[in-house]
Amino acid sequence: MSTRASQFSARVERRDELSPHLVRLTLSTEGFASTGVPDEWVGLVVPGQFQSRYYTVRSYADDELVVDVVRHEIGLVTEWVVREDCVGSTLTITEPKGSFDPPADAGWLMLVGDLTALPAMARIAETTELPTRIWAEVADALPDYLPATADVTWLDPPPGEHSRLAEVVETVAWPEGPGYFWMAGESAQMRAIRKHLMRDRRLPSSAYDVMGYWRASSGRQPRAVDPGPIWRAGKAQGLSDDEIWAKYDAAPDEHEARA
């Protein structure tokens, strides 16, 4: 029987605006244990709410956990994080999970994502020894956010559209030999890329990890589906990463599932 806590309480110690759309929160917490997987995420429940939203652990050391939160036009966490007086609040965070898992023979990494994926791409690039290429679709100027060891292409988000990352991936040149492709961002773009990787590039599912981090909609997201249980159940059933993330994308809202 596991005696590990699955939820932790965390206090917001600092709030720093890294750019117009990215807010860094430094949290103090006790008993948290990182998985060490560089794209690990936690669920975060802000004061007065019961739904969680998922955030990458940008770093964790000495009971200090850092998350970088994107401000959207509207949103449950967005509305809380824009307030400077969020410092001092107590949050609930869930047990971390990660899915980045390159094969042993990978000779390179390709990382693709939008601003919500930037924390994970930074942590992956900081911790790998593999040559790494990154495509980051980000409106804000964050020139020092990604490590200088990575070969980075900054892309402007298309005006009036959420993302054009799927189109970008379909046109980039791929390195020779075995490697690992990691991508996260808007779910419809991610579904398109999974199809491209499977049908056009014919990659085995062990060679990539593509995650829908958010869904385009016109209001606060009513859904909050924890990727953790879907990930664990999928692994237990022997499903490929691709099949697991397709299940995540198709999962009903938790409140709908209860209704």
Ligand X SMILES: Cc1cc2nc3c(=O)[nH]c(=O)nc-3n(C[C@H](O)[C@H](O)[C@H](O)COP(=O)(O)OP(=O)(O)OC[C@H]3O[C@@H](n4cnc5c(N)ncnc54)[C@H](O)[C@@H]3O)c2cc1C
Residues that bind ligand X (CB under 6 A): 41, 53-56, 68-70, 72, 74-78, 116, 119, 211, 213-221, 227
* Helical residues (DSSP H) of the chain, grouped into ranges: 76-81, 118-127, 165-171, 187-195, 227-236, 241-250, 254-258
Paired tokens of 125:
């690039």
Closest separation in Å from C-beta 202 to ligand X: 26
Rounded to a whole number of angstroms, the CA Rg of the chain reads: 18
Q: Which is nearer to ligand X, 60 or 108 (CB)?
A: 60
* Helical residues (DSSP H) of 23-141, grouped into ranges: 76-81, 118-127
Q: Which is nearer to ligand X, 1 or 61 (CB)?
A: 61
Strands in 132-137's sheet, in edge-to-edge order, are: 151-155, 132-137, 109-114, 180-186, 208-214
Closest separation in Å from C-beta 80 to ligand X: 8
What three-state secondary structure class fits 175? coil
Closest separation in Å from C-beta 258 to ligand X: 18
Residue nearest to ligand X (CB): 75
Q: Which is nearer to ligand X, 179 or 185 (CB)?
A: 185
Q: Which is nearer to ligand X, 18 or 198 (CB)?
A: 18
Closest separation in Å from C-beta 184 to ligand X: 7
Q: Which is nearer to ligand X, 99 or 128 (CB)?
A: 99
Closest separation in Å from C-beta 68 to ligand X: 6
CB atoms closer than 10 angstroms to residue 202? 8
Q: What does residue 8 show for φ and ψ, rounded to 5 degrees? A: -135, 155
